[in-house]
Amino acid sequence: MDIVVCGAQKPFVRGGAEQHQENLVAALETAGHRVDLVRLPVAWEKGRLFDSPLAWRMVPVDADLVIATNFPSYFVQHPNKVVWLLHQHRGAYDGFEAGASWSDFAWDDVSLEEQRLLTEWDVAALSEARTVFSNSGVVSRRLARFNGLDSTPLAHPPPLHEVLHPGEFGDYVLSVQRQEENKRPHLLVEAMAHVPSPVRAVMAGRGELLDQVRRHVEDAGLAGKVELPGFVPDADLVELYAGALAVVYVPEDEDYGYTTLQAFYAGKPVICAADSGAVLDWVEDGVTGLVCDGTPEGLAAAIRRLADDPALAQRLGAAGRERIADLSWADVVARLTAP
Amino acid sequence: MTAPVRLAVHVGRDVPDGLTAVLSALPPDVQPVAASAREALPEGTVAHLYCSDALPRRPATPYAVWRVPGADVGDLGDVPALADAGARHVRPGDLQVSLRAWPDSARPVLPFTRAGLRRVRDLPARLVGEARSDGVSWGAPGEHPAEAPLDTWPTLAALASAVIATGEELWTALAWAAPAVTDAAGARLLGLTPDVDVLVGADPVTRARLAAELADDDLRAARLARSGWQTARSHRPAGVAAELCRRLGVRPAPRSTVSGLTAALDALGTPPHSLVRRRARAATAGLPGAVTSGWRPDREEHS
């Protein structure tokens, strides 16, 4: 089949969504399809919010199948449209509801009319799809609650899944993420003040908060205990996963989160928070990881528990590895392209 | 210039009003033409629509059937069938046509948005509205409701967590995407599926209980509101005409870019004075032919 994968992109920003789209293209090509990736820029602020959806509406896409991945690419019109939804415009939905700082929607009539119209547009565009998949239970639940639409969660292997491997359980917890507000990097820094040596934290990844978090570490006198290497090459990252005691991933209401799955491929337990969203699709407290209350003290207690009981860490990590044993891109491709 | 595609319409003695409405609502590039077995088909005929009292033994394909009362054509399989909404001879899966007027000012307000509208107006977090023949009542579930005149119903239909209504008031509520409770006759008359488009209660006490539960269940309210709104909307002649074309494989010619922009905005339900319409006009105003090839923003914004 000739398949066009559609995705939105914020210029100069590269994250999980872009990786996801490229991995999907690769998986479809491996399955023998001819595939192209079409991206259009997106703006998130209210004043320009509807421009990109309208542009997608007018883009002529000649293909046997289109697979739209994120807001607003699912506004593309095609008689054979499948949506694999990574996220909607969260600032108009859950971010708005939670009063998140990254949402510019306020409790006034202008914002509510914009939000209402976006809801109507989303329902119209998503209802055209032959099938709507989501990438997690959290995204499906949001779609059901905000738009009244059903969807089927469809999980996929994370990047590096083919090279990640278990290793020794070392003396550090690993965090792999962009250092941004919704990932709550300060939480781990504050928690480490309550974790005795020799346990360390390695926080891999860049992001707009990186310098601020580095200053936080310095100011808290945790320089020898918390490392912030910034960007880490893939090969080094694989070894960091392999040697960790556990992986800490405490985002706020995450859509999917590759870190959790990468940790499981490396046989490591994941410590998350009770409000970490889709991470909780995978992390079951005491089974594949530990779910803390989202406070620095609670997170520190979870880290200490695993540091004091490496056998527990191994058991949870092994269960996590078993949990992702059936994930495959071949299955994803088969379901997305099924007639 | 692209020749229009033609839909041959084979009617019996009378042309039902619902059918006339659907044919009038076909996309501009799809022309309905009267046809009979004794005459040659006009050039460009791509599909057929038969009234069930004029359905031959071997219909030309592809075709659809308009169900006429008393002319039972049995199981049609995959053939699209159309009928008046709520008619007794409607079968599951039929495209149901309603001639009820769609309230022009109605906009779908799903539960999350309506909760926000209540919040900014200091209304109760949960609010149930009921339409009766002599007026409306509204209030928080379990509390003594306030009374109001019937002409306040559209406002209530836009704001309430759940509504109880039948007949025209139910239709209005669905146009505003209100999570709705009705009786069995009310659901059947509008061609609605119980538990999918509306909740159905046999008596006032049951309906009040269902509405109170609905007001407290965001997830169910959202599903019901979205489905009820889309189903009611799909019964409008334009909705049926579009779906009929889709099922028959009749594809109108693509619109020119600029009129297509307007068509896209219209199809998404964009209000006339919305910001995105102004931005679209600004973005295309400087393009050669933008105003002369059919796009009339002045009319849209001021009509």
Same domain, B136 and B226: yes
Between B301 and A83, name the one with better pLDDT.
A83
- Side-by-side strand order, sheet with B95-97: B30-34, B5-10, B45-51, B63-66, B81-84, B95-97
Q: Is B257 exposed, middle or buried (0-12, 13-18, 19+ CB in 10 A)?
A: middle
Tally of residues, chain B? 303
B28 forms bridges with which residues in the sheet? none
Does residue B118 register a pLDDT over 50? yes
User: Which positions in chain B touch A125 (Cβ < 8 Å)?
Assistant: 268
* Contact assignment for B107 to A120 by CB distance below 8 Å: yes
Residue B68 belongs to a domain? yes
Question: Of B245, B247, B203, which is closest to residue B22 (Cα–Cα)?
Answer: B245
Q: Does A130 lie at the interface with B, CB-CB under 8 angstroms?
A: no
* Residue A197 sits in the same domain as residue A213: yes
Query: Phi/psi at A17 (nearest 5 deg)?
Result: -65, -45
Calpha distance A126→B230 (Å, rounded) = 13
Please tell me whether residues B116 and B77 are part of one structural domain: no
Identify all chain B residues contacting A144, using CB atoms and an 8 Å cutoff: 219, 222-223
> Does residue B63 lie in a domain region?
yes
Both tokens of B21, joined, read 């409405």
Instruction: Calculate mean pLDDT across residues A115-131.
Output: 96
| Residue A203 and residue A179 in contact, taking contact as beta carbons nearer than 8 Å | yes
Tell me whether residues B112 and A54 touch, CB distance under 8 A: no
Is B175:B105 a contact under the CB 8 Å cutoff?
no
Spatial distance between the Cα atoms of B300 and B271, rounded to a whole number of angstroms: 10
Share of chain A above pLDDT 70, in %: 100
The CB-based long-range contact list for B39-46 (8 Å cut-off, 24+ gap) reads B41/B8, B42/B6, B42/B8, B43/B3, B43/B6, B44/B3, B44/B4, B44/B5, B44/B6, B45/B6, B45/B7, B45/B8, B46/B5, B46/B6, B46/B7, B46/B248, B46/B249, B46/B250
- Nearest Cα residue to A158 out of A32, A294, A25, A328: A328
Q: Do B57 and B92 belong to one domain?
A: yes
* A1-15: average pLDDT: 91
Q: Which residue of B has its CA nearest to A79?
A: B246
Tell me: pLDDT of A311 over 80.
Answer: yes
Token pair of A292, please? 């803390």
**Do the domain assignments include residue B248?**
no
CB contact at 8 A, B15 and B234: no
Secondary structure of residue B157 in the 3-state scheme = helix
Q: Are residues A221 and A244 in the same domain?
A: yes
> A46 to each of A54, A104, B78, B172, B265, how far by Cα in Å?
14, 7, 44, 30, 17
Task: Tell the residue number behind the tokens 């039929």, with chain if given.
Answer: B94
pLDDT at B301 over 60: no
Question: Does one domain contain both B181 and B279?
Answer: no
Q: Does the pLDDT value for residue A294 go beyond 60? A: yes
A231 or B88, which is more confident = A231
**Are B123 and B213 in a shared domain?**
yes
Last residue of some domain: B97, B126, B143?
A: B97
Q: Which residue of A has its CA nearest to B258?
A: A58
A93 contacts B226? CB cut-off 8 A: no
Whether residue A163 lies inside any domain: the answer is no
Residues B283, B277: Cα–Cα separation, whole Å: 10
**Interface residue B222 vs chain A (CB under 8 A):** yes
Q: What dihedral do alpha carbons B291, B296, B297, B299 form, nearest 10°?
A: 150
Residue-wise pLDDT for A240-261, tens only, equals: 999 999 999 999 888 888 899 9
- Interatomic CA distance for residues A120 and B173, integer angstroms: 16
Residue A162 lies in a domain: no
Query: Measured in Å, how far apart are chain A's first and last C-alpha atoms?
Result: 12
Contact A148 B112 (CB under 8 A): no
My answer on whether A178 and A317 are in the same domain is yes
Q: Does A141 lie in the same domain as A70?
A: yes
**Which candidate from B116, B223, B276 shows the least CB-CB separation from A50?**
B276
Regarding whether A226 and A314 lie in a shared domain, the answer is yes
Q: Does B223 fall in a domain?
A: yes
Residues 227-246 of A with CB under 8 A from B: none
B93 and B119 belong to one structural domain:
no
pLDDT at B253: 66
Mean per-residue pLDDT for A70-78?
Answer: 95
Give the list of residues 6+ apart from residue A144 with CB closer than 8 angstroms, or none.
A150, A151, B219, B222, B223
- Closest CB to A54 among B226, B269, B276: B276
A318 with A332, same domain? no
Examine residue A239 and state whether it is found in any structural domain, yes or no.
yes
**Mean pLDDT computed over every residue of chain B:** 89
Q: Which domain holds residue A177?
A: 172-323
B223–A124 CB contact, under 8 Å? no
Domain-located, residue B241: no
Last residue of some domain: B34, B63, B97? Answer: B97
DSSP run (H or E) holding A314: helix A310-323
What is the arithmetic mean of pLDDT over A108-113? 94
pLDDT one-digit tens code per residue, A22-72: 999 999 999 999 999 999 999 988 889 999 999 999 898 999 999 999 999
Domain of A309: which CATH number?
A: 3.40.50.2000
Residues B91 and B122 in one domain: no
Answer yes or no: do A27 and A82 share one domain.
yes
Give residue-wise pLDDT tens across range A133-186: 999 999 999 999 999 999 999 999 998 999 999 999 999 999 999 999 889 999
Sorting pLDDT into bands at 50, 70 and 90, what band is B86? confident
pLDDT at B258: 61
The pLDDT value given to residue B297:
42
Amino acid at A291: V
Q: Could you tell me how many CB contacts below 8 A there are between chain A and chain B?
A: 90
Asked whether the beta carbons of A174 and A204 are under 8 A apart, the reply is yes
Indicate the length of chain A as a whole number: 339
Angle, vertex CA B211, rays to CA B205 and CA B217, nearest 5: 140
**Residue A50 Cα to chain centre, angstroms:** 24
Same domain (yes/no): B120, B211: yes
Do B286 and B225 fall within a single domain? Answer: no
Residues B141 and B226 in one domain: yes
- Using 50, 70 and 90 to split pLDDT, how confident is the model at B3? low
Indicate whether A150 and A184 sit together in one domain: no
- Whether A258 and A204 share a structural domain: yes
What DSSP string runs through B250-274?
Answer: --PPPPPHHHHHHHHHHHTT--TT-
Amino acid identity, position A87: H
Asked if pLDDT for residue B302 goes beyond 60, the answer is no
Q: Evaluate if residue B195 carries a pLDDT over 50.
A: yes
Integer Cα distance of A94 and A98 in angstroms: 6
What is the arithmetic mean of pLDDT over B231-259? 85
Task: For A38, list phi and psi in degrees, rounded to 5.
Answer: -115, 125
Task: Mark whether B45 and B138 lie in a shared domain.
Answer: no
| Predicted pLDDT of residue B151 | 94
- Tens digits of residue pLDDT in B143-190: 999 999 999 999 999 999 999 999 999 999 999 999 999 999 999 999
Candidates A297, A148, A306, A174; CA nearest to A240 is A174
- Across B156-166, b (16+ Cβ under 10 Å) vs e yields bbbbbbbbbbb
| Strands B135-139 and B128-132, bridge-based pairing | antiparallel
**Three-class SS state of B203:** coil
Beta bridge partners of A134: A85, A153
What is the per-residue pLDDT for A17?
Answer: 86
Tokens of A180: 């941004």
Confirm if A44 and A76 have CB atoms less than 8 A apart.
no
Q: How confident is the model at residue A75 (pLDDT cuts 50, 70, 90)?
A: very high
The mean pLDDT value of chain A amounts to: 95
Q: Is residue B26 part of a domain?
A: yes
Whether the predicted pLDDT of B294 surpasses 50? no
Query: Do B230 and A57 lie within an 8 Å CB cutoff?
Result: no
Query: Predicted confidence band at A129 (pLDDT cuts at 50, 70, 90)?
Result: very high
Which chain A residues touch B119 with a CB distance below 8 Å? 107
Same domain membership, residue B84 and residue B152? no
Give the domain-ending residue among B97, B130, B155.
B97
Q: Looking at residue A182, what is its pLDDT?
A: 86
Q: Do A177 and A153 share a domain, yes or no?
A: no
How many domains does the structure of chain B reveal? Answer: 3
In this predicted structure, what is the pLDDT of residue B43?
A: 87
| Strand order across the beta sheet in which A34-41 lies | A34-41, A2-9, A65-70, A81-87, A131-134, A152-153
How sure is the predictor about A2, in pLDDT bands with cuts at 50, 70 and 90? very high
Look up the domain containing B275 and give its range. 257-302
Between CA B113 and CA B146 the distance in angstroms is: 23
Q: DSSP assignment of A83-120, as one string?
A: EEEEE--GGGTHHHHHT-TT----SSHHHHHHHHHHHH
What is the average pLDDT across B206-226? Answer: 97
The pLDDT tens digits of the residues spanning B19-74 come to: 999 999 998 889 999 988 778 888 889 999 999 988 888 999 999 999 998 888 88
Q: Please count the structural domains in chain A.
A: 2
Do residue A54 and residue B117 have CB atoms under 8 angstroms apart?
no
Q: Give the pLDDT band of residue B104 (cuts 50, 70, 90).
A: confident
Cβ–Cβ under 8 Å, residues A151 and A134 = yes
Is residue A119 assigned to a domain?
yes
Q: What is the ipTM of this complex?
A: 0.88
pLDDT for position B286: 65
pLDDT of residue A212: 96
- The answer to the question of residue A80 being in a domain is yes
Largest CA distance in chain A: 60
Amino acid at A90: R
Least confident segment among A274-278, B165-169, B277-281: B277-281
Structure tokens at A280: 């909780």
Same domain for A196 and A317, yes or no, is: yes
Task: Please tell me whether residues A332 and A319 are part of one structural domain.
Answer: no
pLDDT at residue A325 above 80? yes
Residue A255 included in any domain: yes
Query: Is residue A322 predicted with pLDDT exceeding 60?
Result: yes
Closest CB to B222: pick one of A115, A121, A148: A148
Q: Give the pLDDT score at B298.
A: 43
Q: What is the largest CA-CA distance in chain B?
A: 68
Residue B293 confidence (pLDDT): 37
- Report the distance separating Cα B7 and Cα B279, nearest Å: 37
